[in-house]
Each structure stands twice: as C-alpha cells, then as structure tokens.
Amino acid sequence: MRIIISPAKKMRTDSDTLAYEELPQFLKDTESLSKLLKKLSYEKAKELWKCNDKIAAHNHQLLKGMNLRNNLTPALLAYEGIQYQYMAPVVFQTDELEYVKEHLRILSGFYGLLKPFDGVTPYRLEMQAKLKGKGFHSLYDFWKDKLAVQLFTETDLVINLASVEYSKCITRYLRDEIRLITCVFGELINGKLIEKGTIAKMARGEMVRYMAENQISKPEEIRRFNRMNFSYAEELSNNNTYVFLRNNVIAN
C-alpha cells in the first residue's frame, strides 16, 4: 500500500531535526527543470509562478543559488502547508516515522515522486504551471507516466490523498490490476457533496497521521477515521471512493 499526497507551496530548510537519507530518484529530471527555470527572466518566472512581487523576488533569488545536492531537508519536513501542519510529522514517534517512510509518497512538479526522507531544497513549481521546454509543453507532458510507473512497481494499492492537480499524474495511467481509493472530505449542501479546499487539506493531513498512529495496513481500516468531526459515509462511497462527511449532516 502507498499513500499519495500533494506538496505545498511554502517550504523551509531544516537540516537539524532529522537527516535526509537519499537523493530523489528522479534528480536528473529535476536538474533539467532547474536549468530551464534558471534561464527565465524575473518577469517570465513571476508569470509562471502567478504570485506577487515579494514571493517572486524571494523565489527568483532561491533559483540563482539553488543547489540540489547540498543543505537538503527531508521532504516530509520541508513542506509547510496546511496538510503538513495537521500531519505534524515533527512529533511522530519512531514507529510512525517508519510507517510513513514505507507507505507515504509525495507528488511534486519539480521532483516527481518523493519518499518522505528524500533530501530536497526549497523551490516553487506547481504541477499545473505553464512551463514549456524541448520536447514538452507542460509538466504533465514532461513527466508523462514516469511517476505512475514507479508507484505501480511499489504497490497495487494506492490511497489517494492528493489534489486533482497532482493525482492526475497517477490516475490517468491506472491499470486494471491497480486499485486506487480516493478519499473525499466534504459536506452535503442542498443534496450536493461539496469539498472545501482548506478543510479538505486539514483532513488529508489528519488522515496521514491517523494511518501512521494506527499502523493501517488494510484500506477498510481507514473507514474508522473520525477526526475533525468527519465520519465515513457508506451510502456515498464505493470501492474506489471513500467519502467522509463533516458532522455527517446535511448543511443548508
């Protein structure tokens, strides 16, 4: 079993809390993207990143001094987004760290497919960014089926806790022998299932923590997830989609 999650825009450097273990397996591809990004002018980079001047200036400066092999942070600790805050890996116990080391994989537009203790450096490159280069017209085109092929060599069961932007790198290449279960965290509003971005990110982080704390080995076990007032909604779920409703009531 493997759990896939999205990265986060906000990142940090921390080489003290835990040491990284390996370099990312697709580092040569990352180096190609890094060279391409470094050729961009400030204006082109800002357009690619779709951000304000403060964020663009900071990330453009990071690009100039980017080193993919030194002063690295384990991926699990490098990302600081909402999902990672609720996962709270810095307070994982040893068995929980071992669990995510084996089961968790992070999808990245820059690094491809990351293990939790792969060493990374801060970057800004969303999977849907309009980056073009020789032989490709988007990052989806750049990575093609590489990430899915690697993931499917590791497992035939995937728990999808990633956003659509990232999970499509995997879902579009699904094979008949692969079972992928997408977890949806939402509310019923006027009879329609609505997933709210921020709350869903929180719940995805909580789900990773729940799975690590309980050493989940079978997908059916995650149906017992009951944090943040979410509970499994059997009537809305199926073999490939597990729906968790907040407060399990109809909101108006």
pLDDT digit string (tens) for 116-153?
999 999 999 999 999 999 999 999 999 999 999 999 99
pLDDT value of position 248:
66
What is the average pLDDT across 20-32?
Answer: 97
- pLDDT confidence bin for 64, thresholds 50/70/90: confident
Lowest mean pLDDT among 62-71, 73-82, 231-240: 62-71
Residue 11 in this model has a pLDDT that exceeds 70: yes
Contact 74, 90 (CB under 8 A): no
pLDDT of res. 251: 42
pLDDT band with cut points at 50, 70 and 90 for residue 191 = confident
d(CA 34, CA 112): 13
pLDDT confidence bin for 190, thresholds 50/70/90:
confident
Domain that holds residue 172: 2-251
Matching residue, tokens 């750049």? 142
* Average confidence (pLDDT) over 175-185: 97
pLDDT at res. 250: 45
Cβ neighbours for 217, distance < 8 A, ≥ 6 positions apart: 1
pLDDT digits (tens, 9 = 90+) for 202-238: 999 999 999 999 999 999 999 999 999 999 999 999 9
* Number of domains present in the structure of the chain: 1
Radius of gyration for the chain, computed over Cα atoms and rounded to the nearest angstrom: 18
Percent of the chain residues topping a pLDDT of 90 = 85
Q: Measuring CA to CA, which residue among 8, 35, 55 is closest to residue 166? A: 8
103 Cβ contact list (under 8 Å, min separation 6): 1, 2, 3, 211
User: Average pLDDT of 161-187?
Assistant: 96
Q: Give the span between the Cα atoms of 168 and 143, in whole angstroms.
A: 11
Of the candidate ranges 72-81, 90-99, 242-251, the one whose mean pLDDT is the lowest: 242-251
pLDDT digits (tens, 9 = 90+) for 34-49: 999 999 999 999 998 9
What pLDDT score was predicted for residue 1?
98
The helix (H) or strand (E) run that includes residue 64 is helix 53-64
pTM for the model: 0.94
